[in-house]
A and B are shown apart, each in its own frame.
Chain A
Amino acid sequence: MTENRMMVRVQIMGESFEVPEGSTIIMAMEYAGYQLKRGIGCREGFCGACATVYREKNDYKIKGGLACQTVVTDGMVIAQIPFVPAEKPVYDINELTPDINTIKAIFPTVFRCVACNTCTKACPQDIEVMDYIQALKRGNIERAADLSFDCIRCGLCALRCPAEIVQYNAAILAQRLYGKYLSKKNPQLDKRVKEIEDGKYSEEINELMDMDREKLTETYYSREIKIS
């Protein structure tokens, strides 16, 4: 942050600070003097640790976002969400069936969805959250897994949901059911695992392991490259 940068004024949990224009909320908090422990994680939008709520100047709406991905604006009022105390049901994935009965048993709240779309509006990943909850209501696990795939579990959907649904936990269940039971499998993977178990490649690899550096270098640079 250079001295001659334009500054904006923001409120961090009610306290007023001047921070460089263009800062993300995380950068602004650090500039103000916070060494963060909660509400911070990967800093790149992949972990969901930094869910934040904020309000902009002359606006009454409280918006949600990721602190590492949201740029501050002059007059912004910011609060971090340190933790989301949402329920996480415990289940044995091996005992489940990939259908509506599992959803009914583990996430009965899903069926309370009133299709208000608040969750979708709250999602910083722009995921169609309501649509995947509706898909789950219909037992369409594949669609729910697909729509929710980019979810990073920041928790903003669940915090805003008037029906008390924990969307992101239902999403991971849908994803696991799809990955384990419904995604099309290919016998080639099992075949290769078996081949390795049977020692098909052991000799070849041992040969490479025993090679001196010169021979190994030569073998490497002369290997056939087949990529598409």
Chain B
Amino acid sequence: MYPEYMMESIKKVEETRPGRLEKSKKYGKEVFPHMTDKERGEVLSKFHPDYKEGARKEVRVGPNKGEILTTEISDLLESYSRINPKDFNLDKIDYETDVLVIGAGSAGMASALVAAKNGSNVLIVTKLRLGDSNSMMAEGGIQAADQRDDSPTMHYLDVIGGGHFDNKPELVQALVSDGPESIKWLEELGVIFDKNPDGSMLVKSGGGTSRNRMHSCRDYTGAGICRVLRDEVYNLPDKIKYIEYSPVVELILDDNGQAVGAVIYHLETKQYSIIKAKSIIMSTGGFGRLHIRGFETTNHYGATADGIILGYRVGAKLLFMDSVQYHPTGAVYPEQIVGFLCTEKIRALGAQPVNADGELFVYSMEPRDVEASAFIRECTARKNGITTPSGLCGIWLDSPLIDQIDGQGTIDKNLPGMVRQFGRFDIDIRKYPMLVYPTLHYQNGGIEINDKCETNIPGLYVAGETSGGVHGRNRLMGNSQLDLIVFGRRAGLNASKRANNGVKIGKLSIEHIYDYEKEVADLDINRKKIAPILLPDYIPDHVKQKQITAEYFGTLI
């Protein structure tokens, strides 16, 4: 339950609720005016964490050398390998496959299924278990322009406007054009989408969308999709093999500069193994566990930017790695769930963000970066937020409004995960608002791909959050789930075609590590970093000081 002083503020929220309910009935979702282009620009430049001093810095090594990237990424790229090439005999291959998929979220598993269907043998390697990913945690929905009053064209416009017109057009075209077909593919695999009684899709809007095109599986949309893909992977044991608890620590090139394999490391037995492949799909997800700018995150324990590091070291070019998505509504109270995702679907269903006085201060469905920046402005410059006992600040997301708009039971039916999450800590979101603040959510940029998921490295394909270009510098709600399926399938097909066409593989090599490390060594950095970090490290310092011989993932050497 909320402490007494927060209840005082909640009383104010309750007082303004009837007026806001009236407005929402009268004006639909537009209870507060939309921002103009100029207003968006202003709130972003003043309050978005990406624009804060120190948020970005020049990367001094590798293919994007000289570009200004997110500071934590630049630092991580200026790092040493976990391994020394001289310890490895690449003539001794442990596993050989047509298509190697690195990472087992929805993009990876979708690509594996399509590659297998196209006749390739597939090997999936993943750091934790199959399905352990940000995909599994997505709550709100998946966009696709399948409704009568909608079109892929409108979807295109929303995506590219949401991304501030920086997105790669061919990728947006691919995303929106494959949308409806992707939904169909998922439904044929057995994904259960929310529907109206007549069988039509139950669709909602999302921040920055001009139509209702958010399909959902309650508020377990990511899980609803990912668990089906995983079950299908389990059902194809002859075509798709998988190795768990085995992150890739380096990619292997051949003497023609093609990506032809990977070195994996078993987290428990500590053995390294060599994989040779005709094509490789990188689908390792995002970077929330880097805790950029010190933010809490919605991301999976394994989201440590591994794919970015691995790809960059073999020369893959990055795009938009200067941009970070902070989800507007991360929990800030109670303390056990700080940073956890409070799905955008809560706002899509009609909940409004209000300040400590219960007043509206922003339209509830601006694109995510704009919405998040407005929340930060309310808490900082305007000082209208609510401070928690542990010193965090947040604004109210007035969830009880949902049942008042659409009737009792709407929250239970559409947001069972959220009711459960807060209910575990004695907060009933059907009766009381949720205290929220932006939380580190998504890696907008990544390894640059084209619409076949190819990169500048032959044989290396990228799909999902690890890729860059689809969303520009700001992704809209529900386009990530769509991205995973659209580009996962495209990567699977194209990687499989390449493998089927017979790739000529030359001599295997990881000598590129020497060249890369030489560049890093020339920087004369005081503290040596190793990457990929594989797992975050949450052990407190006073304990660590006593763990004198411990091996950590994610620490400095």
Contacts and interface: CB of A to CB of B under 8 A. Distances in A.
B160 A180 contact: no
Contacts of B191: 179
Given A35-B535, A205-B152, A216 B180 contact: no
Given A41-B301, A180-B189, A46 B137 contact: yes
A85 to B, nearest CB: 13
Contacts of B180: 189, 192-193, 196
A40 B301 contact: yes
Contact of A46 (B149, B197, B223, B540): B223
Given A193-B184, A201-B177, A69 B156 contact: no
Contacts, number: 228
Contacts of B205: 227-228
B211 interface: yes
Contacts of A6: none
B132 A41 contact: yes
A42 B301 contact: yes
Interface string A156-191: 000000000000000011011111100111101110
Interface string B141-177: 0000111110111101110110001000110010011
A45 B420 contact: yes
A34 B538 CA distance: 9
B456 interface: no
Question: Which of A47, A71, A150 counts the most B-chain CB atoms under 10 A from its CB?
Answer: A47
A18 to B, nearest CB: 11
B509 to A, nearest CB: 30
B177 A47 contact: no
A184 B212 contact: no
B200 A186 contact: yes
A213 B344 CA distance: 29
A42 B288 CA distance: 11
Interface in A34-57: 34-38, 40-47, 49
A103 to B, nearest CB: 15
A175 B187 CA distance: 11
Contacts of B129: 41, 49
B136 interface: yes
Contacts of B183: 189
A221 B193 CA distance: 31
Contacts of A150: 218, 220, 416-417, 420
Contacts of A226: 149, 210-212
B132 A31 contact: no
Given A31-B540, A126-B420, A208-B153, A176 B223 contact: no
B65 interface: no
A124 to B, nearest CB: 9
Interface in B391-450: 416-417, 420-421, 424-425
A37 B268 contact: yes
Contacts of A13: none
Contacts of A185: 187, 199
B238 to A, nearest CB: 9
B152 A196 contact: yes
Nearest to B169: A209
B372 interface: no
A42 B137 contact: yes
A59 interface: no
B530 interface: no
A1 interface: yes
A24 interface: yes
Contacts of A32: 543
B83 interface: no
A93 B234 CA distance: 12
B160 A176 contact: no
Given A35-B535, A37-B267, A228 B237 contact: no
B251 to A, nearest CB: 23
B128 A41 contact: yes
B388 to A, nearest CB: 13
Given A24-B336, A175-B190, A44 B298 contact: yes
B372 to A, nearest CB: 19
A173 B234 CA distance: 12
Contacts of A31: 539-540, 543
A15 interface: no
A219 B165 CA distance: 11
A37 B195 CA distance: 38
Contacts of B231: 172-173, 176
Contacts of A217: 37, 161, 165
A185 B485 CA distance: 20
Contacts of B232: 93
A30 B301 CA distance: 13
A61 interface: no
Nearest to A173: B231
Interface in B253-269: 267-268
Interface string B447-471: 0000000000000000000000000
B228 interface: yes
Contact of B201 (A71, A189, A193, A221): A189
Contact of A193 (B148, B169, B181, B197): B181
Contacts of B543: 31-33
Given A37-B245, A201-B177, A45 B212 contact: no
Given A188-B200, A201-B153, A227 B29 contact: yes
12 contacts: A44-B421, A45-B420, A46-B222, A176-B228, A185-B187, A186-B198, A223-B154, A223-B157, A223-B158, A227-B28, A227-B212, A227-B365
Interface of B: 28-29, 36-37, 128-129, 131-132, 136-137, 139, 145-149, 151-154, 156-158, 160-161, 165, 169-170, 173, 176-177, 180-181, 183-184, 187-193, 195, 197-201, 205, 209-212, 217-218, 220, 222-224, 227-228, 231-232, 234-235, 237, 245, 267-268, 298, 300-301, 335-337, 340-341, 365, 416-417, 420-421, 424-425, 535, 537-540, 543-544, 546-547, 550, 552-553
Given A37-B535, A149-B220, A189-B187, 16 more contacts: A23-B336, A33-B543, A41-B129, A44-B137, A71-B336, A172-B228, A173-B231, A175-B190, A175-B228, A186-B199, A208-B169, A209-B169, A209-B173, A220-B160, A226-B210, A226-B212
Which 10 pairs of residues, A with B, have the shortest CB-CB distance? Answer: A176-B190, A184-B199, A220-B161, A227-B205, A179-B192, A179-B190, A180-B190, A204-B153, A209-B169, A30-B538
